[in-house]
Amino acid sequence: MDELYLDNIDEFVNDHDKIVTYKWLSLTLGVHVNTAKQMLYHYLDHKRKESSDPLHATYLVSGKFVDNGQTSHKVSVVKEDQLEDVKSKMSLIVSVHVYSVQKALLKDSGPLYGVDYDAVKDNLKNCSRYSAIRCASAVPRSSVELQQARHTQPAPAPEPEHKKSTTNGDATPASKPSTKPQKSIMGMFANKSALKNQDSGKEVKSEQKEDAPVVDEPKSKPAAKANPMMNFFGTQAAKKTVKQEEAAPSSSSSSAEQRRPSSQPEETHAAAAAAAAAAVEPPKNSKKDSRSKTKRMEDSDSEEEKMDKKKRRRIKKPEPDSSDEDVIPDSPQQMETREASPSPKEEVEPVSQSHQGNCEMKTRKRRRVLKSRTFVDDEGCIVTEKGYESESYSEAEDDVPKDPIPAKRPASSKPDEKKSQKKASANSNKGTKQASIMGFFQKK
Amino acid sequence: MTTLTRQDLNFGQVVADILCEFLEVAIHLILYVREVYPSGIFQKRKKYNVPVQMSCHPELNQYIQDTLHCVKPLIEKNDAEKVVVVIMDKEHHPVERFVFEMSQPPLLSISSDTLLSHVEQLLRAFILKISVCDAVLNNNPPGCSFTVLVHTRDAATRNMEKVQVIKDFPWIVADEQEVHMQEPRLIPLKTMTSDIVKMQLYVEERAQKT
C-alpha cells in the first residue's frame, strides 16, 4: 500500500481532531479492516518516532481469561496505559490491535461508539464489506421469512416468564416510536438485539458498550436465545456483537468512566460482575435496534426485574462461539452487588413499566418493581435508592436494598453527599420529549 | 412531504424544544469533559443514539433545567443570539467560554421527511466534538464553577425581567467581569447548517489559566 494513507490519517487526527477508529478508517478509505488496523499501527509508530505531539491510542485485546477458575474469552478495548496490565492478566492472548487513534485523551468510551455510528449507518447494507468475519450461510432473510419471524415472536410472549426472550417483543408498545422503523431492518437482528437490549437495559440510561457483554448475560432464557444467537452469529450482527462485546469489557476495563466500578473489585471482576449485572436487564426488545452497540432503551421494562433473580443467575449466556464474553459469575453475591449498581441506574419509569408488564404477564407471580426509597443513611445523608419491592406492596421482604453509588460516594472526595439516583423525571422528560417530537412530525 | 412554516403548529416551539434538549446535553457534557464536577456524579445515558454523560445530581440538574426553561422562550422567538457556558475559576474570572451561536432563518419552512434525522446527525457531531475538545484546550485550574449567559438581540430581556418565568429563579444582567475575558484565544469547534437552525460552537479560552 502506498504511503498516502499516512498523510490521510495525519489529516484526520491532527487537522480535524477526529477520533480515528479502525472501522471508520476502513469504511472511509475503502480498505479491509485488517489493513486499516495495520495502517493505524504504522501511523502511530511513525508519529511517535518523529514528533512529540501527544497522540493517544486505544487497543483491542482479546484472549482467554481465567476468573475464579472459570475460563472465558474476553474482548476489551483498553487505553494504552492499561494495555500491559490487561495483557498480563490474560492467560492466553489471541489478538491485540490498535482500536483507535486520537489526539485527545478520552475520558470514557462513549465517543468511540459515536464515531462509528454514522459511518456504519451510511453503509448499512454493506458495512461488513471489509470485515474479517465471514459466514457463508449468513445471508439476509427474505421479507417472507422476516414476516414469519415477526409473527412467531409475539406468540410466545404470553407464556410464563420462562420464555423471556420474546416477551420483550410484547413490550414494544411501551417502547418509543423509534423502534418501529427499526423493525424492518432489524428483524433479523431481533434476537440479537434482545441480547443487546438486555445489556442496554441493564444500564438504564447508559448505553454502554460495556453493557454489551452484560446483555449477553443470561438474563433472558438462554435456551430460547440459543437459536437466534446461532443465526446471528455469522451475520453482520455478529460483527456488531463482537464489537459490542469488546466495547463492553473494554469499558469495564477502561479506567475512569464508570462510577459503578468505584466500589467494585478490580476490572476483571468488574467485567465479570458487570456482565452478570447487565444480565439483569430483560431482553429488552427483540425488535429494538441492535445496531446501536450500547443500545439502552429508555423504557426498558421492569419485567426482567420481575423475573426470578435466582433463575437469572443460573442462566448461562448462550455461547455460540468463543468470541462472546464473560461467563456469568457463580457467586450470587457478586451478582447482587452488581445488580444493585446497574439496576439503580436503570430507571426508566418503573411504575408505568410495571403496569405494562402487568398487562402482558398473566401469571400470578408477584412482580418486583424498582422503587425509590429515600432514607437517611448512617452518615446522616439523605440517600435515595432504588430497590426491588413487591408490586403489591404487601410485604417488604422482597425489598433488596441495593448499595449503589451513594454508598460508595462517601468514599470519594465528593463534597456534596446528597446524591440521588438518576431521576425518573429527567429520564422521563427526555423520553417523553423525544416521543413527542417524533410524534409531532409523524403526524403529518 | 410536509411543509411547515413558523406559524404552523407552534413550529418555533418545536425548534426551541430541540435546541433546549441539545443544550442540556451539551452543558452536561461540557461539565463532564472539562472536569468542572467530579466525574463520579455523571453516568452514561443515551441521546441521539450515542452515549453521553449526564449528571445525576438533582440540584445541578434542576438548575440546568430551570436555566434552559427560561431561555426557551427567547429561542422560540429567535431572540437568543448566543448561549454561553462560562467556566470560571475560584476568583470568578472566566477561564473558558463555550459559545453556542444560533440563528434561525426568518422564513422557517421544512419540507423534508428526513429533516429530523438530519438534524440529529448534526447534533451528534456536535456532541462528538465536545467530547474531544480537550485536545485543543488547556486544562482548567481546580475549583472551577460555571454559569450560563444568554446574549439576546435587541431588548428581549426586558420582558424576561418583567415576567419571571420560573419563580425564584431570576435572571440578572451579567457583570462585565463575567462577560469579558482577558486575552482570549478563539478555537472554533463546530458549525452546522440546517433548515431549522444554524448553529456554531466555539470556545474562547484565556491564554493563561492559572
Cα of B4 to nearest chain A Cα, Å: 10
The mean predicted confidence, pLDDT, of chain A is 58
Please give the residue that has the higher pLDDT: either B67 or A230.
B67
The domain that contains B113 carries what CATH number? 3.30.900.10
d(CA B116, CA B37): 32
Does any domain span residue B21? Answer: yes
Within a domain: residue B209?
Answer: no
Average pLDDT, chain B: 82
Cα distance between residue A371 and residue A299, in whole Å: 15
* pLDDT digits 0-9 by tens, B126-151: 888 888 887 888 888 888 888 888 88
- Chain A partners within 8 Å of B116 (Cβ): 437-438, 441
Domain-embedded: residue A101: yes
In a domain, B3, yes or no: no
Beta bridge partners of A371: A387
The residue of chain B nearest to residue A429, with distances taken between CA atoms, is B21
- Average pLDDT, integer, range B89-110: 82
pLDDT, residue B159, reads 63
CA dihedral B30, B32, B33, B36 (to 10 degrees): 80
Confidence bin at B26 (pLDDT 50/70/90): very high
Has residue A77 been placed in a domain? yes
> What is the C-alpha to C-alpha distance for residues A220 and A234, in angstroms, rounded to an integer?
21
Q: Which of B41, B130, B55 is nearest to A110 (CA)?
A: B130
- Domain tally, chain B: 1
Touching B: A residues 211-250, CB under 8 Å: none
Task: Please check the confidence at residue A221 and state whether its pLDDT lies above 60.
Answer: no
Task: Tell me whether residue A265 is in a domain.
Answer: no
Determine contact: A433 vs chain B, CB below 8 A.
yes
- Of all residues in chain A, the percent with pLDDT exceeding 70 is 36
Say if residue B30's pLDDT is above 50. Answer: yes
Residue A96 is part of which domain span?
3-123
Tell if the CB–CB gap between A419 and B21 is shorter than 8 Å.
Answer: no
What is this structure's pTM? 0.55
Over residues A51-65, the mean pLDDT reads 84
**Rounded mean pLDDT of A388-406?**
45
Label residue A358 by pLDDT band (50, 70, 90): very low
* CB-defined contacts A:B, below 8 A: 144
In a domain, A86, yes or no: yes
Of all residues in chain B, the percent with pLDDT exceeding 70 is 84
User: Which pLDDT band, with edges at 50, 70 and 90, does A365 fall under?
Assistant: low
| Overall average pLDDT of the A6-27 stretch | 85
What's the mean pLDDT in A154-178? 45
Arithmetic mean of pLDDT, A31-35: 86
Q: How confident is the model at residue A442 (pLDDT cuts 50, 70, 90)?
A: low
Number of domains in chain A: 1
Q: What is the pLDDT at residue A376?
A: 73
| Domain assignment of residue B34, yes or no | yes
Instruction: Determine contact, residues A297/A352, Cβ cutoff 8 Å.
Output: no
Which of B38, B59, B134 is facing A105, going by the closest CB pair?
Answer: B134
The predicted pLDDT at position B166 comes to 64
Assess if residue B1 is contained within a domain: no
Nearest C-alpha of chain A: how many angstroms from B155?
30
Q: Give, as one character, the DSSP assignment of residue A13.
A: I
- What average pLDDT score do residues B25-53 get? 88
Shortest distance, CA A394 to any CA of chain B (angstroms): 30
- Strand segments (E) across A222-340: none
Q: Is A66 left (phi over 0), alpha (psi -120 to 50) or beta?
A: beta
Query: Is B132 in Cβ contact with A207 (below 8 Å)?
Result: no
For residue A410, give the chain B residue with the closest CA: B40
B59 in any annotated domain = yes
CA closest to B24 among chain A residues: A430
**B48 inside domain:** yes
Predicted pLDDT at B82 = 87
User: pLDDT digit string (tens) for B154-208?
Assistant: 776 666 666 666 666 777 777 777 777 778 888 888 888 887 888 999 998 888 7
Cα angle B93, B99, B103 (rounded to 5 degrees) comes to 145
Cα torsion through A72, A77, A83, A87, rounded to 10: 10
CB contact under 8 A, B46 and A441: no
**What domain range is B187 assigned to?**
9-204
Q: Does A420 touch chain B if contact means CB atoms closer than 8 Å?
A: yes
- Residue of chain A with shortest Cα separation from B190: A16
pLDDT-based confidence at A233, cuts 50/70/90?
Answer: very low
Which residues is A334 bridged to in the sheet? none
Instruction: Say if residue A38's pLDDT is above 70.
Output: yes
Beta strands in chain B (DSSP E): 4-5, 42-47, 50-55, 80-88, 94-103, 109-110, 145-152, 184-193, 198-206
Task: Specify the pLDDT at position B28.
Answer: 92
**Measured between CA atoms, how close is A17 to chain B, in angstroms?**
7
Contact A114 B131 (CB under 8 A): yes
B1 pLDDT above the threshold of 80: no
What pLDDT band is residue B3 in, cutting at 50, 70 and 90? low
* Tens-place pLDDT, residues A327-336: 443 444 444 4
pLDDT at A29 over 80: yes
* A134 touches B: beta carbon within 8 Å: no
Question: Residue B98 above 70 pLDDT?
Answer: yes
Task: Return the residue of A nearest to B50 by Cα.
Answer: A114
If you average pLDDT over residues B106-118, what whole number do you get? 70
In a domain, A179, yes or no: no
pLDDT over threshold 50, residue A324: no
**Torsional sign, CA A291, A296, A302, A308:** positive
From chain B, pick out residues whose CB is under 8 angstroms from the CB of A294. Answer: 44, 46, 51
A386 close contact with B: CB closer than 8 A: no
Question: Tens digits of per-residue pLDDT, A89-148?
Answer: 888 888 888 898 888 888 888 888 888 888 888 777 776 677 777 777 777 777 777 888
Q: In angstroms, what CA-CA distances link A221 with A169, A227, B70?
A: 14, 11, 48
Instruction: Please indicate, yes or no, if residue B80 is contained in any of the structural domains.
Output: yes
Decide if A419 and B41 are in contact by the 8 Å CB cutoff.
Answer: yes
A96 forms bridges with which residues in the sheet?
A: A61
- Report the pLDDT value the prediction gives residue A438, as an integer from 0 to 100: 62
